[in-house]
Amino acid sequence: MLGLATRAGKTVSGTDIVVAKLKKGKLKCIIIANDLAENSRSEIEAALKAHPAPVVDAFTESELSQAIGKKRKVLALTDYGFAKALLDKIKEGV
């Protein structure tokens, strides 16, 4: 799902870009690696307090990187359809 969203141009990645887009209210879902450094996690959580969005931390850095084809620990979906589909898949346990 993440790879498809990336190819469709519906993701942004990197802590700084995600925080900036989050502050503008442009993101539908935030995906962070469960092995993300604490200071980066704190920065994202602070931005989420002002601009809430669903957060997924069910993947490791290597799983995220493999899914999108770039080495990343933080990414976000900008499309509601992809965000809903990802969240539904996670709830199903797939």
Mean pLDDT for back-to-back runs of 10 residues, the chain (94 residues): 93 94 93 94 92 93 92 95 93 78
Q: Helix (H) and strand (E) counts for the chain? A: 5, 4
Per the structure block, which two tokens stand in for 19? 């925080």
pTM attached to this predicted model: 0.89
Sign of CA dihedral 65, 74, 90, 23: negative
Q: CATH 3.30.1330.30: does it fit domain 2-92?
A: yes
What pLDDT does residue 80 have? Answer: 95
pLDDT confidence of residue 9: 95
Q: Find out whether 68 and 13 touch, Cβ atoms under 8 Å.
A: yes
What ranges make up the beta strands (E) of 1-94?
Answer: 11-13, 29-33, 55-59, 74-77
Q: How much is the pLDDT for 93?
A: 78
Contact 1, 82 (CB under 8 A): yes
